[in-house]
Structure 1
Amino acid sequence: MTSAHAVEPHLNGCPWHDVNEMLQSVGLRPTRQRMALGWLLFGKGDRHLTAEMLYEEASQAKVPVSLATVYNTLNQLTEVGLLRQVSVDGTKTYFDTNVSAHQHFYLENNHELIDIPDQHVALRSTPEVPEGYEIARIDVVVRIRKKG
């Protein structure tokens, strides 16, 4: 393996310049809070997080942000297409770093969201949409729990 492909094992997130580029590419100013939250969000592969989960991670990483800032940042990243919002029960909202077309299992016992590979969910048809509207996305959340 060449040194250009080597991964330093002590790194625990995507490099700052990647987060900076990501934010700037969608027109968001790379503030200190956005950079830190982006590093936590996108540095660990595809993830499903609530605002509270990210706030807890930020607190553990000694990132000085309020829960309101976390919510605002997650909503801004969703608006520009860097995150996908997935609601469960109308009471719990997860933010997904994987914005590709895919559906989810919701593990009721663990309150955890996991991806379903897209090819495993098929829709035969979609409802007729009111005049002047188009379908933006269809979300399927399959609720599962342990037997017993």
Structure 2
Amino acid sequence: MAVKSSTEQRRGQDWLAKGGLRPTRQRLALATLLVGDGNNRHVTAESLYASALKRGEKVSLATVYNTLKAFCEAGLMHEIAVDASRSYFDTRMDDHPHFFWEDDNRLSDAPAEELKLLSVPKAPEGAEITRVDVVIRVRKT
């Protein structure tokens, strides 16, 4: 089992505090996996669950799903749906596009400066646009 450093745990605690979330044992363990090294992540619930198990954390897949949803609701991460049955969770919170690598079901950041979005349709009456997700599907040649 990999040992968490105090710096990693502090980053996880600070991240949870930023979202106003109580640092339960399971939330702190998952937050530390997501942001402990200071890097942004694109994860699925299943990949985060596997990382948690590998690190020796006692957490269920259902708890991982619920915790990721709570992190999104707290404004700590975004959920990106790549199709009707698959979502990724991104800790990078600025607006930016993504590449979805079809060969290995992986999401990565795409260069935002190369995307030129000239306009979007008006929101239907009684609604507002909250965000625009751009997912560019790619495969290796």
Q: Give the number of equivalent residue pairs.
A: 138
Kept after mapping to 2: 8 A contact 1:13/1:40: no
Residue 73 of structure 2 corresponds to residue 79 of structure 1 = yes
Are 1:46 and 2:40 an aligned pair?
yes
Match of 1:18 among 11, 15, 29: 11
Q: Is the 8 A contact 1:129 1:135 kept in 2?
A: yes
> After the TM superposition, which segments of 4 or more aligned residues of structure 1 sit over 4 Å from their partners?
10-14
User: What TM-score do the two structures reach when normalised by structure 1?
Assistant: 0.86
Deviation string 1:1-50 (CA, Å, 9 cap, x unpaired) is: xxxxxxxxx97785322322221232211000000000001124111100
2:34 pairs with 1:35: no
CA RMSD of aligned residues (A): 1.7
**Structure with greater Cα Rg:** 1
Render the CA deviation track for 1:53-101: whole Å, top value 9, x for unaligned. 0000000000000001100110000111111111112211000111111
Q: CA deviation at 1:109?
A: 0.3
TM-score by length of 2: 0.91
**Structure 2 counterpart of 1:3:** none
Q: Compared with structure 1, are the counterparts of its residues 14 and 71 closer, same or farther at alpha carbon in structure 2 (3 Å cutoff)?
A: farther
Greater RCO (CA < 8 Å, at least 6 residues apart): 2
Matching of residues 98-137 of structure 1 within 5 Å:
98-137=92-131
For structure 2, the residue ranges without an aligned partner over 5 or more in a row are none
- SS of the residue aligned with 2:137? strand
Q: 1:12 to 1:46 in 2, by over 3 A?
A: farther
Does the alignment pair 1:96 with 2:90?
A: yes
Change (3 A) 1:55 1:13: farther
| Preserved CA contact (<8 Å) 2:19 2:74 | yes
